[in-house]
């Protein structure tokens, strides 16, 4: 059953989270009208628009040109050197020299360009495509030396060439420094540079000008590979185009085009497109949240009364359901136009109910789960799974509610806790708005603060309304309910006080003793106190038959048959349960009244009956089992502790002048007697806990009866008036009667 309940919790969490995390599926076809308006369930990428934007970015990318250094000044220097060598050879005629110039000068240029291309190709500095582009452009923009220049070259003397070389190299170097895609744009500057040079001879200036124009080339060329890379990077750097959450993808009645169909298909919005991974993810998240709750309950320090109670697990699931429904109800009205509405969700109601009805540590674990769910359910931001604001708001208000209400002893404490939740919730929202004020105007801020404050009050109202329902439906005894039952004006307690004041005083003392003992071992001390107040309520039917109510009157048991006395004594437990049912007291209180005696043995009346049978000379027609309480034995620690405290209080009260040793011996004897009689076999009291109970009862008795207890070690044990040490059992005639 426990596993089934946790499986139900997983389903509940899945159903709660799925609408926010899983997109709705649509049954549509191309060229058919859409039966409903299809909205973007989340921020999704528009593939077609993104591709278009990428292509536009690529087209907008300008061609890439790469500048290179051809060292053109070396070409003109080598040409002048060659001219100088040819001119120095007197064996060659002028016409032959001119012919050699026509052949050697272009060869020097082409060889230089070819060497550059080969070395660049081998080194891998430039791609083959780029080098081919360089060769092509240089050849296309080639300058042709005039015939007049070839004719003038033989006239140059070695001195002329020596003067021309540095000037020509400097001019070409300076002009080739600036990037140029067209050689002609640079060549037009040659004349000006030559005119302002230091060359004195006209022929020198004319030849340098012509040679410089010849060797000058473009030095910046179109790089196809770099251009392609730039376009690729432009595509990659283009931001995707998104359709915002809530935008209309397909209007109602719109004919579905192939483009629309593809968009819906790519984003998993078609029913015929099977993609289970989102469902698996949401299911896994739900399982993790439920397992976290389950493991916290399974911890050794978890409350024992909760760990094995499936009824309380069912109540926990119902609290989760109520809390999740409250979030979803606000989520229906919550949107990006009214972002403050989410703060109105009474998210603290779950933590408050779990604290009051179940366990404080469990409430902290549940608060963390509530905060995770709230951050998903109340999220309105596009492209986000969690909303930090609402998650933190839920966590803080839940923790504040637990801290404020975990020691609640009155219904008014719930209202005080609600005010604390409202105050700290509004304070947190104010802090968050101050940290990030974008999108918050004065009106929105006031609404957010007001709704955050109202959230705590709304949670308080819900807790007030739900507490009685849970207490009645699941038989839960909350601390508030227990405190209410201690009110002396309760009809049963008033009846006990007015009709059996001795029993009333005895019940109050038992309550003090049992509460201290229960708290010492981690049991429910308040339940023990309240159970003690009502455990002997059945004595009000025949008050005179119990010794604490006789007040010096004759004992009626001295005049009736011991079997009848036994029946009257035993009946008070059953009568008490019936009276409590009549007044609709919770079952745990009734159980204590029914189980506090267990199946203990009425020694006095049994032996009295044996004596009468012996005097009458007849065989006893009864056994020891006939003089036992019908039980059942104590089923809980609280019932067992109340039973021990009941016997201890009655035994101490029967002593005339109790001593410390007497009290200690008496408590040990009572516990050992019940232990030997197997009265604790059906509850989970351990031997160590029994030792703690005994020690605590001793200390408490010393405190309560301090003025009556004698402390000297040499005081003898007081004997009863029959000369025998009385068995300190709650049902002996000197005690229970």
Q: What is the distance between the alpha carbons of residues 235 and 392, in angstroms, rounded to a whole number?
A: 40
DSSP state of 250: E
In the block, residue with structure tokens 């989340």: 42
pLDDT of residue 8: 93
Residue 14 lies inside a defined structural domain of this protein? no
Model confidence band, residue 709 (pLDDT cutoffs 50, 70, 90): low
For 33, list phi and psi in degrees, rounded to 5.
-70, 145
Residue 730 lies inside a defined structural domain of this protein? no
Higher pLDDT: 737 or 311? It is 311
pLDDT of residue 37: 75
Model confidence band, residue 580 (pLDDT cutoffs 50, 70, 90): very high
* % of the chain at pLDDT higher than 90: 30
Residue 371 has pLDDT above 90, yes or no: yes
Model confidence band, residue 246 (pLDDT cutoffs 50, 70, 90): low
In 3-state terms the chain splits into helix, strand, coil percentages (rounded to 5) of 65, 5, 30
Residue-wise pLDDT tens digits, 111-133: 998 998 898 888 888 888 888 88
Residue 185 lies inside a defined structural domain of this protein? yes
pLDDT of residue 402: 92
Residue 536 has pLDDT above 50, yes or no: yes
The reply to whether 421 and 493 lie within a common domain is no
What's the mean pLDDT in 216-237?
A: 89
The reply to whether 517 and 625 lie within a common domain is yes
Q: What is the distance between the alpha carbons of residues 189 and 169, in angstroms, rounded to a whole number?
A: 15
Per the structure block, which two tokens stand in for 81? 């050197």
Q: Are 153 and 83 in contact (CB under 8 A)?
A: yes
Q: Which long-range contacts (CB under 8 A, 24 or more apart) does 107-112 make?
A: 108/75, 108/78, 108/79, 108/82, 109/75, 109/79, 109/214, 109/215, 112/70, 112/71, 112/74, 112/75, 112/78
Which candidate, 357, 352, 349, 364, places its Cα nearest to that of 301?
A: 364
Residue 71 has pLDDT above 50, yes or no: yes
CA 27 centroid distance within chain: 35
Most confidently modeled of 125-134, 317-326, 560-569, 651-660?
Answer: 317-326
Element housing 211 (H / E)? helix 202-215
In the block, residue with structure tokens 């007001």: 450
DSSP state of 548: G
pLDDT of residue 41: 66
Per the structure block, which two tokens stand in for 423? 């105050």
| Lowest-pLDDT choice from 130-144, 249-263, 578-592 | 249-263
The reply to whether 380 and 442 lie within a common domain is yes
DSSP state of 715: P
The reply to whether 601 and 495 lie within a common domain is yes
pLDDT of residue 484: 83
The reply to whether 505 and 637 lie within a common domain is yes
| Lowest-pLDDT choice from 68-72, 372-376, 594-598 | 68-72
Last-in-domain residue among 437, 469, 501: 469
Element housing 210 (H / E)? helix 202-215
This prediction has a pTM of 0.60
Taking every pair of C-alpha atoms in the chain, what is the biggest distance, in angstroms? 176
Residue 149 has pLDDT above 90, yes or no: no
DSSP string, 576-606: HHHHHHHTT--HHHHHHHHHSSTT-B-HHHH
Residues in contact with 558: Cβ distance below 8 Å, sequence separation at least 6, in sequence order: none
pLDDT of residue 64: 87
pLDDT of residue 275: 66
Give how many domains the chain has, as a whole number.
3
- Residue 137 β-bridge partners: none
Q: What is the CATH number of the domain that holds 510?
A: 1.10.3210
Higher pLDDT: 303 or 248? It is 248
Residues in contact with 231: Cβ distance below 8 Å, sequence separation at least 6, in sequence order: 58, 61
Q: Are 492 and 534 in contact (CB under 8 A)?
A: yes
Q: Are 593 and 580 in contact (CB under 8 A)?
A: yes
Residues in contact with 430: Cβ distance below 8 Å, sequence separation at least 6, in sequence order: 449
Q: Are 561 and 610 in contact (CB under 8 A)?
A: no
Q: What is the distance between the alpha carbons of residues 178 and 69, in angstroms, rounded to a whole number?
A: 10
Q: What is the CATH number of the domain that holds 403?
A: 1.10.1760
Residue 35 lies inside a defined structural domain of this protein? no
DSSP string, 256-310: PPHHHHHHHHHTT-BTTS---HHHHHHHHHHHHHHHHHHHHHHSTTS-HHHHT-H
Residue 658 lies inside a defined structural domain of this protein? yes
Residue-wise pLDDT tens digits, 258-278: 777 777 777 667 766 666 777
What's the mean pLDDT in 363-379?
A: 92
The reply to whether 406 and 501 lie within a common domain is no
The reply to whether 416 and 533 lie within a common domain is no
The reply to whether 350 and 203 lie within a common domain is no
The reply to whether 456 and 495 lie within a common domain is no
Q: Which long-range contacts (CB under 8 A, 24 or more apart) does 246-251 make?
A: 246/39, 246/40, 246/335, 246/336, 247/39, 247/40, 248/37, 248/38, 248/39, 248/40, 249/38, 249/39, 249/40, 250/28, 250/34, 250/37, 250/38, 251/34, 251/37
Residue 727 lies inside a defined structural domain of this protein? no
Residues in contact with 490: Cβ distance below 8 Å, sequence separation at least 6, in sequence order: none
pLDDT of residue 727: 37
Residue 311 has pLDDT above 90, yes or no: no
The reply to whether 454 and 490 lie within a common domain is no
Model confidence band, residue 546 (pLDDT cutoffs 50, 70, 90): confident
Count, residues in the chain:
737
Model confidence band, residue 204 (pLDDT cutoffs 50, 70, 90): confident
Residue 714 has pLDDT above 50, yes or no: no
Which candidate, 391, 363, 364, places its Cα nearest to that of 375?
A: 391
713 CB burial (10 A radius; 0-12, 13-18, 19+): exposed
> 3-class DSSP state for residue 526?
helix
Name the region of 37 (left: φ>0; alpha: ψ -120 to 50; beta: rest): beta
pLDDT of residue 299: 67
Mean pLDDT across the chain, nearest whole number? Answer: 84
Q: What secondary structure, in 3-state letters, does 298-352 show? A: HCCCCCHHHHCCHHHHHHHHHHHHHHHHHHHHHHCCCECCEHHHHHHCCCCHHHH
Torsion of CA 218, 222, 225, 227, to 10 degrees: 140
Q: Are 162 and 199 in contact (CB under 8 A)?
A: no
Per the structure block, which two tokens stand in for 265? 């298909």
Strand-strand pairing, 220-222 and 65-67: antiparallel
User: What sign results for the dihedral spanned by CA atoms 625, 630, 636, 642?
Assistant: negative
Last-in-domain residue among 435, 469, 503: 469
Per the structure block, which two tokens stand in for 326? 């409250």
Q: What is the distance between the alpha carbons of residues 546 and 540, in angstroms, rounded to a whole number?
A: 10
pLDDT of residue 732: 37
Q: What is the distance between the alpha carbons of residues 115 and 31, in angstroms, rounded to a whole number?
A: 65
Residue 234 lies inside a defined structural domain of this protein? no
Tell me the residue range of the domain where 218 lies.
65-222
Residues in contact with 587: Cβ distance below 8 Å, sequence separation at least 6, in sequence order: 475
Residue 419 lies inside a defined structural domain of this protein? yes
Which candidate, 633, 647, 648, places its Cα nearest to that of 680?
A: 633
Residue 233 has pLDDT above 70, yes or no: yes
Higher pLDDT: 631 or 687? It is 687
The reply to whether 593 and 453 lie within a common domain is no
Residue-wise pLDDT tens digits, 407-457: 665 667 788 888 999 999 999 999 988 888 776 778 888 988 999 999 999
Last-in-domain residue among 416, 440, 469: 469
CA atoms within 13 A on the CB side of 614: 6
The reply to whether 129 and 190 lie within a common domain is yes
């Amino acid at each position: 059953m426990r596993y089934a309940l946790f499986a139900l919790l997983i389903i509940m969490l899945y159903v709660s989270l799925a609408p926010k995390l899983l997109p709705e599926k649509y049954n549509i076809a191309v060229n058919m009208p859409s039966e409903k308006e299809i909205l973007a369930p989340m921020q999704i990428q528009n593939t077609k628009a993104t591709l278009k934007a990428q292509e536009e970015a690529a087209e907008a990318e300008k061609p890439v040109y790469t500048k290179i250094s051809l060292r053109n000044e070396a070409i003109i220097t080598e040409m002048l050197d060659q001219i100088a060598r040819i001119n120095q050879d007197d064996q060659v005629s002028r016409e032959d020299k001119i012919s050699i110039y026509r052949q050697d000068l272009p060869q020097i240029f082409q060889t230089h360009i070819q060497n550059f291309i080969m070395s660049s190709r081998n080194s891998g500095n430039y791609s083959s495509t780029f080098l081919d582009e360089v060769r092509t452009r240089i050849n296309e923009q080639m300058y042709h030396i005039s015939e007049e220049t070839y004719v003038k070259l033989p006239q140059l003397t070695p001195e002329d060439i020596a003067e021309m070389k540095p000037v020509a190299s400097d001019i070409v170097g300076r002009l080739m420094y600036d990037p140029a895609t067209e050689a002609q744009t640079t060549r037009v500057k040659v004349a000006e540079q030559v005119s302002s040079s230091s060359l004195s001879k006209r022929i020198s200036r004319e030849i340098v000008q012509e040679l410089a124009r010849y060797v000058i080339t473009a030095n910046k060329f179109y790089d196809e590979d770099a251009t392609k890379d730039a376009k690729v990077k432009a595509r990659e750097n283009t931001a995707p185009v998104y359709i915002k959450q809530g935008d209309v993808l397909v209007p109602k009645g719109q004919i579905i085009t192939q483009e629309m169909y593809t968009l819906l298909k790519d984003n998993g919005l078609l029913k015929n497109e099977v993609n289970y991974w989102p469902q698996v993810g949401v299911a896994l998240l739900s399982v993790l949240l439920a397992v976290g709750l389950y493991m916290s309950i399974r911890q050794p320090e978890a409350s024992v009364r909760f760990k094995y109670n499936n009824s309380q697990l069912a109540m926990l699931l119902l609290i989760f359901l109520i809390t999740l429904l409250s979030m979803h109800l606000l989520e229906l009205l919550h949107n990006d136009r009214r972002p403050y509405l989410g703060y109105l969700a009474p998210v603290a109601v779950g933590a408050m109910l779990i604290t009051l009805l179940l366990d404080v540590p469990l409430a902290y674990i549940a608060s963390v789960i509530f905060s995770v769910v709230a951050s998903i359910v109340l999220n309105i931001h596009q492209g986000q799974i969690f909303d930090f604001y609402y998650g933190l708001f839920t966590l803080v208000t839940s923790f504040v509610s637990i801290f404020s209400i975990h020691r609640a002893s009155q219904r008014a404490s719930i209202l005080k806790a609600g005010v604390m939740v409202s105050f700290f919730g509004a304070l947190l929202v104010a802090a968050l708005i101050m940290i990030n004020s974008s999108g918050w105007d004065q009106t929105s801020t006031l609404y957010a603060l007001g709704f955050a404050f109202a959230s705590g009050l709304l949670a308080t109202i819900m807790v007030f309304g739900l507490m009685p329902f849970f207490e009645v439906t699941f038989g839960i005894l909350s601390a508030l309910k227990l405190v209410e039952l201690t009110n002396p004006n309760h009809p049963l307690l008033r009846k006990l006080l007015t009709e059996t004041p001795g029993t009333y005083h005895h019940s109050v003392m038992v309550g003090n003793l049992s509460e201290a003992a229960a708290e010492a071992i981690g049991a429910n001390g308040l339940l023990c106190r309240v159970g003690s107040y009502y455990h002997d309520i059945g004595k009000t039917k025949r008050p005179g038959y119990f010794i604490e109510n006789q007040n010096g009157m004759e004992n009626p048991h001295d005049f009736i048959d011991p079997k009848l006395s036994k029946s009257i004594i035993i009946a008070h437990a059953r009568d008490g349960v019936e009276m409590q049912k009549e007044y609709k007291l919770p079952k745990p209180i009734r159980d204590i009244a029914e189980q506090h005696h267990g199946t203990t043995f009425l020694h006095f009346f049994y032996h009295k009956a044996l004596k009468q049978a012996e005097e009458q000379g007849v065989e006893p027609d009864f056994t020891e089992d006939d003089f036992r309480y019908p039980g059942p034995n104590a089923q809980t620690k609280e019932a067992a502790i109340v039973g021990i405290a009941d016997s201890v209080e009655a035994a101490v009260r029967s002593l005339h002048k109790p001593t410390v040793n007497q009290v200690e011996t008496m408590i040990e004897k009572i516990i050992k007697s019940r232990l030997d009689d197997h009265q604790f076999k059906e509850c989970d009291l351990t031997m160590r806990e029994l030792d703690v109970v005994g020690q605590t009862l001793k200390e408490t008795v010393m405190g309560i009866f301090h003025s009556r207890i004698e402390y000297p070690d040499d005081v003898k044990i007081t004997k009863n008036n029959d000369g025998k040490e009385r068995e300190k059992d709650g049902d002996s005639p000197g005690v229970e009667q």
